[in-house]
Amino acid sequence: MVEKIVKDYLQSSLDIPVRLEEDDSLGKEYVLIEKTGSSSENHIASATLAIQSYSTSLFGAASLNERVKKVMENIIELDDICSCHLNSDYNYTDTGRKKYRYQAVFDIVHY
């Protein structure tokens, strides 16, 4: 499951909680991972992952997003990951819950 691979990789590279779903114990700064799509061709799988960076300020969320993007540049070092490309990233503040967040969307090819 590519989400777990990415979660474990980010968790070992960042000094903040990285989760696949939100819970109350995450603190003020954390990262959530969500798979938004996937496909397979010739036994090679690909997935689109949205990685959401939460913080207490817009600047904090943007800074954390930059850290996530930098770390994700090197995920191809893992044996299970063939390629990883940043699709886009943007301010994705949750106005309903009044939480600052940025979202980076990655296209990942994996085994």
CATH code for position 92: 3.30.2000.10
What burial class does residue 17 get, using C-beta atoms within 10 Å of its C-beta: 0-12 exposed, 13-18 middle, 19+ buried? middle
Query: What is the token pair recorded at 70?
Result: 């930098």
- Whole-number Å distance between alpha carbons of 19 and 33: 6
Q: Looking at residue 23, what is its pLDDT? A: 86
What is the tally of structural domains in the chain?
A: 1
pLDDT (average), residues 16-43? 93
Q: Render pLDDT for 73-90 as a digit per residue (tens, 0 to 9).
A: 999 999 999 999 999 999
- Does residue 7 carry a pLDDT above 90? yes
- Does residue 24 carry a pLDDT above 90? no
- Does residue 59 carry a pLDDT above 90? yes
Range of the domain at 106: 2-110
Q: Residue 15's CB: how many other CB atoms inside 10 A?
A: 7
